[in-house]
Structure 1
């Protein structure tokens, strides 16, 4: 028995979808001309392709039961859907699948429970689906959404597919037809201001969203930002070749995000800050081949955790913040950081990348615009020691002391420079031996040419210039030569210099050795 439609004066297109819904059959209203069927030309479509949104909503809300043995669903191509497609708070009885449709009134799915939602290649004013639950796929492949997408706290049990999606923030939406402009006109100025303040800079507002499958967002074009704070992408999020142009400070704000992987790589471009503070990536976070630019901080990845960070962009402009993060493998190149880089508190298990020198890494750890921080040096030295490069670890710790010296008062800087000159802060103890050898040779030569006079002529002694010089250098007289011979003339200044040098060398060697042997991360 055929049910009588509850809508008067249904047109032919509406009668077709009314009859097709119980069996889930396709209703294709397209003409076959690609240019004419482009939903961007939807305002020019005639009544034979026009469907009221209330008819579509009634079907999805259960106006018609499914045929026995069939799965009900709305499968519609090439339609002009007039009015707002309001499915808010509904439990949809069948799948929603639209292709190349024109929806100038937008879609409302707030708190909706749906089997699957696919709006592919459509032209849509806006999508509001906060708190919705989709038990299969959420698919906006190839669509254009002018006024932003709301998916905060949405639950998607399958995949999210946004490949080729064009989406603009509400404040930059181009209302290309009268229907979209009418929607804006009906909104009060206060509501517009509130929306602009809260949502205006975001093209995709999806904080708290959970996606059990992968979120495939390749080749998107976004005019605005992605706000995905606290979102969970268990199968990973993939943004290769996508281009994001921020209308506010952030291209992506993803604090506290969790993901199985995050690919912002292979042609990905972002103008604006990418902020992933406190995020966790249980696989690879990759910026390989990306183009990143922002007027200030381009990457904010502090307090984050990730198994591997690949930071090898084609181009990067701005500061990078990796402070207090924990990274398993960091694959980068020190030269890829053109501005300041914040590394204080960063812990990593391994460094990988193209060939770089220890000096390159020392420049890297010294790029913190807040000034000297000891931890980045200690972390780098610990990694060199872990891979068996003890000499490189000592070079890093020596550089740490030299950098620290610039922060001291004048007296501390003088003493530090002396320690550096004499024993390399204890990391180059062979310098002390070199100084002793130079002073010993100089003293031996001078005192051999101008021997001192014997203090007690009655005591039988044979003067040895080498032993005498060595006794002067020792802080405490060992060979009893210092008290037996008295230098003459200008050689007294040499003797006093040797005595003072001996004390300085001994003190510096003890201080440097104590610094090196002191327990702690710098040892």
Structure 2
């Protein structure tokens, strides 16, 4: 029985490196009497171009560990499933491919040849999984070119080695996107997944590595993506702009290691549920303050909202203060706005630490006491009765002069002598200190009431 006859009967044929004409596989696949198990072939060399473009068949195609010197063409084909695991070829062209079940290219070796890509799955529709685990893909521009790809199940890019952009712009994935252990590299970005939609989780972990060197391209760019489950970033992305998660919506938790991005990050518009994991609050504040491209309030507000929902009020205040410091350093403030920001920061912690104003008030009163007791001294004071002013009376005079509203010494037994220059200086200084005391007391009340409003 010939090889073609055995293949037509659905047998799993191992050619052990022998050759078979690629056109015979096409002829078998479109034959009406092909066994429902389809074509199952292992370790064969395909002579000629395997051109299955526009082929319509409800049979599976299995070509495991096969080799060919020409690209495999699956454009606009409609099949049950395709297994090209272990394929060694220049490229696989499968734009607008329609599969009822899965496409497997596990451990494939595709060098791109004359094509800009190693695998082209633009607008392909797969009812089941896409498996590229362990594959080595090299393309002049793209390793995997899959804009607007539709996958009903999982996408496996685990341990993928890609030398070219992995492009998933506009792709829709019904299960998980698994990139654990993948090694992606290209000068113009490693993983490009703008407007990606993943129903479950995205895993960039298990030793995941992405590298890019040419600005302004992003190493990992997922801008505008929608992720129904978790986003796990537990590998390493290196480049001038290493990570772009602008306007990404994560339906569950965000797990982001502090050292995931070796370069600048863009997090404006990123939303998630719960407190971020895999990095401490200090790591997050350092990331937002020093490694984002520019100041943006939304990442701070999102982080504060997550901690507030968890009941971490002290952490919420830390985040708010860090946000205001970043605004002062990198925000667009007028000269007077910047000055006022500095004042409120130094006095009430931008409204989130009103107790600082009490410390300034205490320092003002202490200065008044030193001024009266040490600068003016008993010689610079006069007393209604005979005898010098006691130390208690001197302190009472100082507090009486500087404390707003509350007057501890209403009888004013001692007075500063204003007939000398020193006495006049002390009096004027106490006026200034009283003005400062009024200001600090007012700032404390305003900051305290504002803080109460923010936490209720």
What TM-score comes out, normalization by structure 2 length? 0.82
**Kept after mapping to 2: 8 A contact 1:17/1:74:** no
2:12 pairs, out of 22, 26, 35, with 26
Matched residues in 2 for 1:327 and 1:318: separation?
22
Partner of 1:342: none
Matched, 1:442 2:370: yes
Matched residues in 1 for 2:300 and 2:413: separation?
48
* CA-CA distance at 1:93 after TM superposition: 4.4
Matched, 1:319 2:288: no
Partner of 1:220: 160
Matched, 1:255 2:194: yes
Matched residues in 2 for 1:117 and 1:469: separation?
91
Matched residues in 1 for 2:71 and 2:294: separation?
51
Matched residues in 1 for 2:399 and 2:195: separation?
66
SS at match of 1:153: coil
Partner of 2:277: 352
1:507 pairs, out of 412, 420, 439, with 439
Partner of 2:399: 470
- Which residues in structure 2 correspond to 1:103-142 (within 5 Å)? 103-142=68-107
**Kept after mapping to 2: 8 A contact 1:217/1:240:** yes
After superposition, the Cα gap between the structure-2 partners of 1:256 and 1:466, relative to the gap in structure 1 and judged at 3 Å, is same
Partner of 1:283: 229
* CA-CA distance at 1:253 after TM superposition: 0.7
Partner of 2:122: 152
Q: Deviations over 1:129-158 (max 9, x none)?
A: 111111122111222122211111111112
Matched residues in 1 for 2:78 and 2:254: separation?
37
Q: Deviations over 1:260-314 (max 9, x none)?
A: 22222112222221111111222222232x23222x1111111101122322277
**Kept after mapping to 2: 8 A contact 1:472/1:482:** no
After superposition, the Cα gap between the structure-2 partners of 1:108 and 1:442, relative to the gap in structure 1 and judged at 3 Å, is same
Matched residues in 1 for 2:349 and 2:148: separation?
53
Matched residues in 2 for 1:208 and 1:357: separation?
37
* CA-CA distance at 1:72 after TM superposition: 4.8
SS at match of 1:293: strand
Q: Deviations over 1:69-91 (max 9, x none)?
A: x5252112232222221211121
Matched residues in 1 for 2:209 and 2:65: separation?
27
SS at match of 1:19: helix
* CA-CA distance at 1:505 after TM superposition: 2.7
After superposition, the Cα gap between the structure-2 partners of 1:268 and 1:233, relative to the gap in structure 1 and judged at 3 Å, is same
**Kept after mapping to 1: 8 A contact 2:68/2:89:** yes
SS at match of 1:363: helix
Unaligned runs of 5+ in 1: 1-14, 31-36, 38-48, 172-200, 329-348
Aligned Cα root-mean-square deviation (Å)? 3.3
**Kept after mapping to 2: 8 A contact 1:160/1:214:** yes
After superposition, the Cα gap between the structure-2 partners of 1:388 and 1:448, relative to the gap in structure 1 and judged at 3 Å, is farther
Partner of 1:65: 33
Partner of 1:16: 2
**Kept after mapping to 2: 8 A contact 1:104/1:125:** yes
Matched residues in 1 for 2:177 and 2:284: separation?
31
Matched, 1:297 2:241: yes
1:55 pairs, out of 10, 24, 48, with 24
Matched residues in 1 for 2:426 and 2:323: separation?
35
Partner of 2:108: 143
* CA-CA distance at 1:351 after TM superposition: 3.2
* CA-CA distance at 1:24 after TM superposition: 0.7
- Which residues in structure 2 correspond to 1:190-209 (within 5 Å)? 201-209=141-149
SS at match of 2:229: strand
**Kept after mapping to 1: 8 A contact 2:253/2:276:** no
**Kept after mapping to 1: 8 A contact 2:365/2:402:** no
Matched residues in 1 for 2:360 and 2:81: separation?
76
SS at match of 2:290: coil
**Kept after mapping to 2: 8 A contact 1:467/1:481:** no
After superposition, the Cα gap between the structure-2 partners of 1:93 and 1:251, relative to the gap in structure 1 and judged at 3 Å, is same
SS at match of 1:283: coil
What TM-score comes out, normalization by structure 1 length? 0.72
Matched residues in 2 for 1:217 and 1:483: separation?
86
Matched residues in 1 for 2:296 and 2:204: separation?
30
**Kept after mapping to 2: 8 A contact 1:257/1:280:** yes
